[in-house]
Amino acid sequence: MMVIASSKRLRSRSRLTLRNVLVNMTLCAGTLGAGCATNPSTAIDTSIPAVGEANKKAPSYDEVAQRWNTRTNDLSRIWARAVVQIRYVDADGKRHNEQGEGHLQLVQPSDFALSIGKLGEVLLWLGSDASRYWLIEPGDASHASVGAHATLGMACHKSLGLPAHPLDMLDLMGVTALPTLAGAQAAGREAPWVTLTRDAQLLVVEAPARFGRRRMFLDPVTLLPRRIQLFPSVQVSPGDAPAISADLTNPAPVKLRTRGGFFPRVASRIEIDHPASDTHIVLHLTDLSDGRDQAGRLSPRVFDFNSLTSAFAVSDIEQLDADCDQFAAPYDNGSDGS
């Protein structure tokens, strides 16, 4: 952990630094802009046969989806302590390393919250609910940006400059369900498929994501994810490249109060690469649970924009989709969300 003097000046510097790390990134997930690629990793062989090439040793897609969803169904609620490490290059080409701590909280399918702070002070709060997403910057000059999921990527929707949409984080963590083959095709999406890497060490599963597509490299025995890539388009095309990727290691159990025995596991170390900005983010998660082990965890208020802006006394709110007419996400900062 970095040694930081307890002074208002350094706390202000930390707030600006963490903010700049986020806003200087190109939005390559969520809207999943083109022209992004992921850095190759020597730890995982992700070379695959031609898309759609049959592999008799691979299980069927629906078989994989059924086993995968058995696990994700038990991961509908997650609370964890989080340490966030960020390595990035600033506008002057200088490399920096920053670290903060906070909490990761989610209730599927769309409630998400990631707080980042230092010295017990929240510096950034990234979150979403069923219809909106937001970034809140508490402090003396508190500010919040909020927009609707429905308008993300439209010309009328201002870019927040995040590397990943909050809902993409759930896909990158490997905790969201897979559609059935029939369900994906009925929705007009590309047919999901399964194959093996060329070295036959990992299963490769490609399926629709919330935005575009996801390609997952799974342990063939446990089906735990080793790498997850998000692609910008819903259809495979020549030169197709992932917009953002996450390497997932150190599986840890998520303690469930609703049952005993073996608990479902998720990666406790998630390394996210955003090559367009030469940024690397590592999430270290501990004390994973369903949030039922202590009162106040996963409270509806942590996923309620109005409650959060009231609690943080936010004085300036920017509506990212204000120019999107009827699609704009309304807010009432006078409400406490109760």
> Which range is least confidently modeled, 12-16, 117-121, 133-137?
12-16
In this structure, are strands 244-253 and 225-231 parallel, antiparallel, or unpaired?
A: antiparallel
pLDDT at 48 over 60: yes
pLDDT, position 259: 81
pLDDT at 267 over 90: yes
What stretches of the chain show up as alpha helix (H) in DSSP? 8-23, 61-72, 166-173, 181-186, 305-311
Q: Which of 35, 44, 30, 280 is nearest to 170 (CA)?
A: 30
pLDDT at 33 over 70: no
Q: Counting beta carbons within 10 angstroms of the beta carbon of residue 29, is it exposed (0 to 12), middle (13 to 18) or buried (19 or more)?
A: buried
At 158, give phi and psi (nearest 5°): -65, 140
pLDDT at 4 over 90: no
Mean pLDDT within 160-172: 79
Mean pLDDT within 106-134: 93
pLDDT, position 24: 44
- Does 222 or 43 have the greater pLDDT score? 222
pLDDT at 134 over 90: yes
Local confidence band at 150 (pLDDT 50, 70, 90 cut-offs): confident
- The residue ranges of every structural domain in the chain are 10-327
Mean pLDDT within 123-142: 91
pLDDT at 238 over 80: no
pLDDT at 37 over 50: no
Rg of the chain on CA atoms, in Å: 20
Mean pLDDT within 107-111: 95
- Does 268 or 238 have the greater pLDDT score? 268
What stretches of 242-314 show up as alpha helix (H) in DSSP? 305-311
Q: How many helices (H) and strands (E) does the chain have?
A: 5, 14
For 170, the 3-state DSSP assignment is helix
DSSP state of 200: S
Local confidence band at 159 (pLDDT 50, 70, 90 cut-offs): confident
Q: Which of 134, 128, 81, 127 is nearest to 103 (CA)?
A: 81
Sign of the Cα pseudo-torsion (87, 173, 123, 102, in order): negative
pLDDT, position 8: 34
pLDDT at 70 over 50: yes
Note the pLDDT tens digit of each residue in 89-105.
777 888 888 889 999 99
Number of Cβ within a 10 Å radius of residue 250: 12
Mean pLDDT within 107-114: 95
> Which range is least confidently modeled, 41-45, 47-51, 152-156, 227-231?
41-45
The CATH homologous superfamily to which domain 10-327 belongs is: Lipoprotein localisation LolA/LolB/LppX (2.50.20.10)
